[in-house]
Amino acid sequence: MNTSASVSYESHGAVGLIALNNPPVNAASHDLRHGLLEAVNVLADDADIRVIAIYGTTKAFIAGADIREFGKPGRDPMLPAICLALENCAKPAISVLHGPTLGGGLEVAISTHARIALPGAILGFPEVTLGIVPGAGGTQRAPRLIGIAATLDLVTTGKRIGAEQALALGLVDRIVAGDAKQIAQDSAADVLSGKLATRRTCDLPVVPDQAAIDRAAENLAATQPHLFSPHKCVQAVAHSTQPLAEGLARERALFKECIDSPQRAGLIHAFFAERAVAKIPEQGATPRDIQSVGVIGGGTMGSGIATALLLAGHTVRLAEWDGDALGRGVATIEKNLAGAVKRGKLTEEGRAAILAGRLSGGTDLVRFDTVDLVIEAVFEDMGVKQDIFRQLDRICKPGAILATNTSYLDINEIAAVTTRAADVIGLHFFSPAHVMRLLEVVVADRTVPKTVATGFALAKRLGKVAVRAGVCDGFIGNRILSHYRKAADYLVLDGAEPDQVDQAMQRFGFAMGPFAVFDLAGLDIGWATRKRQAAARDPAERYVAIGDRICERGWFGRKSGQGYYVYDGSTPRPNPEVAAIIRAERARAGITPRVFSDGEIVDRHMTAMISEAARVLADGIALRPIDIDAVFLFGYGFPRHRGGPLHHADSVGAAELIRRIESYAAEDGNYWQVPPLLRQMVASGQTFAGMNSEA
Ligand code: 3H9
């Protein structure tokens, strides 16, 4: 019998079975909640039924509350009421957990009277990663099962644990392999025969542990002072020593506070951004099968890409110009793999197997005749890249994908030297390529859908977030970066110090400020770009030469021991010599330095970033605003709780952004120009969020 589109129930003798079926992940939508409550009530009232068992038929037991419903008016029955109904059910109710059992799903499970996990079950309270606290009793019932310290560990980190660990903690009672429905039936029979004990979680005592609460609070105050929900999680768990009803009421109040916070909106936007970027026009095309990959260039980027491919199970052939360079590339890959073993991403046997059988190298491209994909990662020189692509065109088998990792060169020009432009694409990785999650998939004029779909399928296998980009100088991320880094330079020329800019942006939420990032990336990279672009530079552009003066001294940032900062101890310190360079450049330009507040630094920085993002969008380089948000969240350390530059832009508002740009334009009308898209948005009342839902 169905109680809703997502829930059905049936009886087998004295056993009432409830099946949850809300694809893809059994999110606890209104329909599922309504159906589950009704099924529990019907079976509880059925005199023939003596035990109730709940299981899921999709790839999850329940992956949590339906996140799409957050921020909308709640519709009864709400999840806490369902958890109470289960816990207070006069008949034993058990749950069979397979796949993701997360957030509200785990809250449902711990409200039943026994839990049986399949070996692949994944349990956790990821609410904190969405800017909320568990809101259906998780912070009150989990301490009764696993203690306060273990609950804090799960709830404040959002970490996910497997069935074995859940069993060891006491979160589940048994692990059984097999079919979820059959296990539900068998376990219910065990309840009836007394082989499986059941009990109400609310009847278990909570052992007070003030020390664990203090530790968690202190740790979060030190490490995540700018985040809202982790602190609320600790407060909620601290209430678990109260009678259950009081604790639940307190938890619910904290949950509501979090739901109303802008951080919740930003974090949930980030969750959907990671998934939205996969929705591309080429979605229907069948990707090519990629097993073996040729990587050209064994520098930091090429060896990082090779490492990522090897970790994902590909066979890799690395090409370099000579034996020495090849040796260095292979050594870097070996070091990266050793790092992966250290981080627990790879076993020692896995590392040995990769090095013994899946990595080879050479100093020419002859053996590239069998590879399914080539990724070229040599230095940024159009002539060199074109020469490589001519060779690849001759050597590679038909249907091989030819990709370039260029950061800004015109991929149409690279494709033009081949006879197979349909198979040419940009795969722009971010350094270190085996760690950073972003991959820009750059679609050139003649790239066909199959090639694009292959880029996205590869990204998925590598565990990367792929974002579709069009061809322009810098694609999405670096084009926007090269614009806003000028705003950072102007701030310094006009009076701010680099470390002041960095600290203001860190307080805003960036992991690092822009100047610390430049030092990390290597100042020589930007210097080379500026030299390349010098001839084409607009004479009306205000040029800041501070970066050039630093590079002229041979200071390229972290790798050379100094740049904007000096790296001679554990904590980098502002470089006094750079302060002198800045003073000299200000004097040369006749500038009297002025004071910038942190707020003004953030406003200028963000307004510059949003302005160029709006142009990138209007030029069709990015498909939607949310794609740009994803690029900055996954490739540029943008604070996740702020959702991305264009999610943040909506919170500022297009009219205010225009007001800011016009006021800054009084000083520099060449740099600060209002993007036409912002004016259109004001005229039509459109928002970036609105453009996401229309696309
Ligand atoms: C919560 O429970 C609060 C409670 O305390 C109670 C409050 C009262 N809702 O990731 P995938 C969609 S907070 C709505 O690609 P996978 C997802 O957007 C919640 N939709 O698959 C995607 O849609 P589309 C706590 C959801 O196999 C599709 O499902 N729970 C939800 O790689 C497939 O997702 C979480 O935070 C959801 N809860 O990974 C769990 N979950 O196809 C969040 C997924 O249109 N979810 N979707 O793009 C996950 O971690 C992963 O999705 C999961 C599956 C591991 C489940």
| 107 has catalytic annotation | yes
pLDDT at 359: 95
Ligand 1, atom nearest to 129 Cα: 36
Over range 309-337, report the average pLDDT.
Answer: 96
Q: Token digits for 245?
A: 């009803």
Can you say whether residue 71 is alpha, beta or left, with left for phi > 0 and alpha for psi between -120 and 50 degrees? left
**What are the residues facing 46 on neighbouring strands?**
none
H or E element in which residue 467 lies = strand 465-470
- Could you tell me if 187 and 12 are in contact, meaning their C-beta atoms sit under 8 angstroms apart? no
Measured CA to CA, the distance from residue 29 to residue 66 in angstroms comes to 5
pLDDT at 44: 97
For 265-382, strand residue ranges (E) read 292-296, 315-319, 359-362, 373-376
pLDDT in tens, 559-612: 899 999 999 988 999 999 999 999 999 999 999 999 999 999 999 999 999 999
> Of the residues 38, 87, 127, 320, which is catalytic?
127
Whether the CB of 124 sits within 6 Å of ligand 1: no
Measured CA to CA, the distance from residue 524 to residue 533 in angstroms comes to 14
CA 550 to chain centre: 34
For residue 33, how far is its CA from the centre of ligand 1 (angstroms)? Answer: 16
Give φ, ψ of 532 to 5 degrees.
Answer: -60, -35
pLDDT in tens, 68-123: 998 888 899 999 999 999 999 999 999 999 999 999 999 999 999 999 999 999 99
Pocket test for ligand 1, best of 6, 20, 22, 25 (most atoms within 8 A of CB): 25
Query: Confidence band (pLDDT; 50, 70, 90) for 636?
Result: very high
Pick from 182, 159, 181: nearest CA to 171: 159
Give percent above pLDDT 70 in the chain.
100
For residue 247, how far is its CA from the centre of ligand 1 (angstroms)? Answer: 27
pLDDT at position 315 over 90:
yes
Sort 11 into a burial class: Cβ within 10 Å, 0-12 / 13-18 / 19+.
middle
pLDDT at 431: 87
Query: Confidence band (pLDDT; 50, 70, 90) for 533?
Result: confident
- Could you tell me if 490 and 542 are in contact, meaning their C-beta atoms sit under 8 angstroms apart? yes
User: Which residues, in sequence order, are CB contacts of 310 under 8 Å at separation 6+?
Assistant: 316, 333, 337, 354, 358, 359
User: Which residues, in sequence order, are CB contacts of 40 under 8 Å at separation 6+?
Assistant: 18, 52, 82, 85, 86, 89, 93
* Sheet with 2-4: strands ordered across: 2-4, 7-12, 15-20, 51-56, 93-97, 114-117, 174-175
What 3-state DSSP class applies to 8? strand
For residue 82, how far is its CA from the centre of ligand 1 (angstroms)? Answer: 20
For residue 294, how far is its CA from the centre of ligand 1 (angstroms)? Answer: 35
For residue 10, how far is its CA from the centre of ligand 1 (angstroms)? Answer: 27
Ligand 1, atom nearest to 122 Cα: 55
Atom 44, ligand 1: which residue's CA is nearest?
Answer: 25
Whether the CB of 67 sits within 6 Å of ligand 1: yes
| 497 has catalytic annotation | no
For residue 25, how far is its CA from the centre of ligand 1 (angstroms)? Answer: 7
pLDDT at position 380 over 90:
no
Q: Within a 10 A sphere around the Cβ of 582, how many other Cβ atoms? A: 23
Average per-residue pLDDT for the chain: 96
Over range 279-288, report the average pLDDT.
Answer: 96
Whether the CB of 25 sits within 6 Å of ligand 1: yes
For residue 103, how far is its CA from the centre of ligand 1 (angstroms)? Answer: 10
pTM, to two decimals: 0.93
Atom 41, ligand 1: which residue's CA is nearest?
Answer: 63
Q: Within a 10 A sphere around the Cβ of 373, how many other Cβ atoms? A: 25
Sort 535 into a burial class: Cβ within 10 Å, 0-12 / 13-18 / 19+.
exposed
Measured CA to CA, the distance from residue 185 to residue 119 in angstroms comes to 17
Longest dimension (CA), the chain: 92
For residue 126, how far is its CA from the centre of ligand 1 (angstroms)? Answer: 10
Ligand 1, atom nearest to 80 Cα: 8
pLDDT at position 29 over 80:
yes
Whether the CB of 131 sits within 6 Å of ligand 1: no
pLDDT at 72: 86
Whether the CB of 68 sits within 6 Å of ligand 1: yes
Give φ, ψ of 167 to 5 degrees.
Answer: -65, -45
Whether the CB of 135 sits within 6 Å of ligand 1: yes
Whether the CB of 104 sits within 6 Å of ligand 1: yes
pLDDT at position 694 over 80:
no
pLDDT at 528: 85
For residue 34, how far is its CA from the centre of ligand 1 (angstroms)? Answer: 19
CA 459 to chain centre: 13
pLDDT at 325: 95
Q: Token digits for 350?
A: 């896995």
Whether the CB of 103 sits within 6 Å of ligand 1: yes
Can you say whether residue 288 is alpha, beta or left, with left for phi > 0 and alpha for psi between -120 and 50 degrees? beta
> Of the residues 38, 107, 320, 612, which is catalytic?
107
Atom 5, ligand 1: which residue's CA is nearest?
Answer: 134
CA 664 to chain centre: 33
pLDDT in tens, 472-531: 989 999 999 999 999 999 999 999 999 999 999 999 999 899 999 999 888 988 898 888
pLDDT at 32: 98
pLDDT in tens, 152-197: 999 999 999 999 999 999 999 999 999 999 999 999 999 999 999 9
pLDDT at position 208 over 80:
yes
Measured CA to CA, the distance from residue 198 to residue 46 in angstroms comes to 20
CA 537 to chain centre: 36
- Could you tell me if 251 and 234 are in contact, meaning their C-beta atoms sit under 8 angstroms apart? no
Measured CA to CA, the distance from residue 253 to residue 616 in angstroms comes to 42
pLDDT at 442: 98
Higher pLDDT, 559 or 278: 278
Q: Within a 10 A sphere around the Cβ of 244, how many other Cβ atoms? A: 18
Pick from 122, 110, 25: nearest CA to 65: 25
Cα first-last separation, the chain: 39
Whether the CB of 306 sits within 6 Å of ligand 1: no
Buried b (16+ CB within 10 A) or exposed e, 257-294: bbbebebbbbbbbbbbbeebbeebebeebebbebebbb
Whether the CB of 99 sits within 6 Å of ligand 1: no
Computed on alpha carbons and rounded to an integer, the radius of gyration of the chain in Å comes to 28
Can you say whether residue 408 is alpha, beta or left, with left for phi > 0 and alpha for psi between -120 and 50 degrees? alpha
Pocket test for ligand 1, best of 6, 67, 258 (most atoms within 8 A of CB): 67
Higher pLDDT, 225 or 677: 677
Whether the CB of 127 sits within 6 Å of ligand 1: yes
pLDDT at 142: 98
- Could you tell me if 323 and 298 are in contact, meaning their C-beta atoms sit under 8 angstroms apart? no
